[in-house]
Structure 1
Amino acid sequence: MSDPTTVMSAKPIVLPAPNRGEDLQVRVSAPVTGSDLPVIVLSHGFGWSMNGYAPLADHWAAQGFVVVQPTHLDSRTLGIPHEDPRTPRIWRIRIEDLTRVLDGLDMLEAAVPGLGGRVGRDRIAVAGHSWGSQTASALLGARVLGADGVPGEDMSDPRVGAGVLLAPAGLGDDLTPFAVENLPFLRPSFDTMTTPALIVAGDNDHSHLSTRGPDWSTDPYTFSPGSKSLLTLFGAEHSLGGIPGYEVAETTDESPARVALIQQLSTAFLRSTLLGADAGWKSAVTALEAEANPLGKVESKNR
């Protein structure tokens, strides 16, 4: 991992969204130097906003990435009531938000002082935590099964070359009654999620949406084809040590060391996948395996 560089951040940058009911507000963070910078579009978990996930956004930007964080309609900062007619479609609007960001890269680049001409268009990744991971996975090729079990629309995006899915939801076969009644979109299929991705799961992440247990979050790795890696964090719960923010109340398993490991391995994975810098990823995995008391384990496949 290279030494961090100075980072600039701009918010809110507004992308017009005439059919969304609210224009899309985003935050852009980027290093102050460098060119042909790779891009990470980061989708927040339920209720969060462009202001969350500083432990990831700050780190990735300091390591040479342009990090774009949209505020989805479920954000507490927008205060949209549950009875809003858009609520049943928010899962889909979330995916459209990420596509809108990619469509609006020229506008975003121009809106950030000093960023013009420095954004790489052929090195793009999506990332997400919790609900955000399902949002991001759609651009990687995952689809939502209908009530008849048939996969819905393909919303993948060929501009995306890699993904990082943090504490994702698994298959919809073992949902709790609450999830069945309230979250009909929580029936993913990973059969067509072919884009390379790193899945990060906590082995103590007991979701209230599934009866399966922590291995539910490993389904995107187990059931997807192509090049995938799985980082399983020992003892980690849904916040994976604290990635939603510094000292936030919902972090029940605070662990700076665990967050640092996610920072290190996700950066190495993205550099390997987007930039072809394989040595850093292999070295990071080897170093983790060599530790006497490792914080987790990595497994990979390519099929």
Structure 2
Amino acid sequence: MSASTSPARDILRSPTPVLSVSPVVVPAPGRAVDLEVRVSAPVTGGDLPVVLLSHGHGYSNNLSSLNGYAPLAHFWAAHGFVVVQPTHLSSRTLNLDPATAPGAPLHWRSRAEDMTRVLDGFDAIEAAVPQLRGRADRSSVAVAGHSMGGHTASLLMGARLTDPDDGKEVDLTEPRIKAGVLLAAPGRGGDALTPSTAENLPFFLTTDFSGMTTPALVVAGDKDASAHLTVRGPKWHADPYTLAPGPKSLLTLFDAEHGLGGISGYDVAETTDENPARVAAVGRLTWAYLRSRFHPGDSAWQEACDALAAGPDPLGRVESK
């Protein structure tokens, strides 16, 4: 099929208006507060794959919540996905007292459990958003996450750790998730961590990617040193690719830091590497990867990789295994 008649290219040229509804409450008995999500979807179309998008733990008061990551959520929804964004218990918008909130401050376990709650409670989501009823393909589910959200996504795809509180191995794999996107996600533990991370966030110490078998695209910036977390520099964020079994792909973005150009929101002041072209590339490439995963034989991913490599000054490179 020629590029001029590619369905992927046609979809990219003709984005659909997006419906976004929040807050939608998902049943969550026993949770410290109600689980609230934002649901974004194209206003037309059916058999829409679902992306569960997990926010990071940044400095802003509101972006680390269902209100963040609009550049990605809107793009994915405008091009054929249902995007569900929870507000995790780690969000500053909830302002939970660490002394009375088990798992604080990052709530690594409940973050993953939130995504399982979303899938279990999808009937409630459709009831709250009647324009969505019957249009989502619940057999085609992906998870995506940035930074701490990437850690959440990796656990849902099969990464393991040992709970520092009881010494038991934790398996939070969600079999309904068929693909994933890890954006500037944390890497391995052990001697890769800074002493302060090992002491204050001990759940990172035992991260093991050897069981993360779900197909995934790992996105890492080659200038993302994350010196407050790791002594390994930018290569640490490629660990979910290098240490996990295939099929995996790695998108390395040139000159990108932890914000990957500003994916957490439009015009975010805390972005250290603001670059609208980079954000647009992340949106297109992640969309293309997921589209081709859920539509076998679709050319979107190959076209996106070819476009990335073209020209004298590429924004990054892709490798796969």
TM-score, reference length from structure 2: 0.90
Aligned-pair distance for 1:82?
A: 2.6
Instruction: Say if 1:115 and 1:292 are closer, same or farther in 2 by CA, change over 3 A.
Output: same
Question: How far apart in 2 are the matches of 1:21 and 1:67?
Answer: 24
Aligned counterpart, 1:101: 118
Question: How far apart in 2 are the matches of 1:83 and 1:21?
Answer: 13
Partners of 1:109 and 1:119 within 8 A in 2: no
Tell me which of 271, 283, 296 is aligned to 2:303. Answer: 283
Aligned counterpart, 1:81: 97
Question: How far apart in 2 are the matches of 1:55 and 1:153?
Answer: 33
Aligned counterpart, 1:197: 216
Aligned counterpart, 1:206: 225
Amino acid at match of 1:23: D
Q: Does 1:68 align with 2:84?
A: yes
Aligned-pair distance for 1:146?
A: 5.0
Q: Equivalent residues in 2 for 1:121-200 (5 A)?
A: 121-145=138-162, 152-173=169-190, 174-186=192-204, 187-200=206-219
Aligned-pair distance for 1:75?
A: 0.6
Aligned-pair distance for 1:151?
A: 7.5
Instruction: Say if 1:96 and 1:146 are closer, same or farther in 2 by CA, change over 3 A.
Output: closer
Q: Which digits, 9 at most, give the CA deviation of each residue in 1:120-157, with x for residues without a partner?
A: 11110000000000101111111113569x87222111
Q: Does 1:250 align with 2:270?
A: yes
Q: What's the secondary structure of 1:22's corresponding residue? A: coil
Aligned counterpart, 2:25: 14
Amino acid at match of 1:188: T
Partners of 2:51 and 2:144 within 8 A in 1: yes
Q: What's the secondary structure of 1:254's corresponding residue? A: coil
Question: How far apart in 2 are the matches of 1:197 and 1:69?
Answer: 19
In angstroms, what is the RMSD of aligned CA positions?
A: 1.5
Amino acid at match of 1:128: G
Partners of 2:162 and 2:170 within 8 A in 1: no
Q: What's the secondary structure of 2:19's corresponding residue? A: strand
Q: Equivalent residues in 2 for 1:229-240 (5 A)?
A: 229-240=249-260
Residue ranges of structure 1 left out of the alignment (5+ in a row)? none
Aligned counterpart, 1:273: 293
Question: How far apart in 1 are the matches of 2:157 and 2:16?
Answer: 29
Aligned-pair distance for 1:290?
A: 2.1
Partners of 1:145 and 1:189 within 8 A in 2: no
Aligned-pair distance for 1:250?
A: 1.5
Instruction: Say if 1:122 and 1:276 are closer, same or farther in 2 by CA, change over 3 A.
Output: same
Partners of 1:126 and 1:136 within 8 A in 2: yes
Aligned counterpart, 1:39: 50
Instruction: Say if 1:297 and 1:134 are closer, same or farther in 2 by CA, change over 3 A.
Output: same
Range 174-183 or range 62-71, more displaced: 174-183
Range 281-290 or range 266-275, more displaced: 281-290
Amino acid at match of 1:228: K
Aligned counterpart, 2:135: 118
Question: How far apart in 2 are the matches of 1:54 and 1:98?
Answer: 19
Percent identical among aligned pairs is 60
TM-score, reference length from structure 1: 0.96
Question: How far apart in 2 are the matches of 1:57 and 1:193?
Answer: 24
Instruction: Say if 1:151 and 1:229 are closer, same or farther in 2 by CA, change over 3 A.
Output: farther
Question: How far apart in 1 are the matches of 2:291 and 2:232?
Answer: 33
Amino acid at match of 1:73: L
Question: How far apart in 2 are the matches of 1:250 and 1:98?
Answer: 27
Partners of 2:32 and 2:101 within 8 A in 1: no
Amino acid at match of 1:105: F
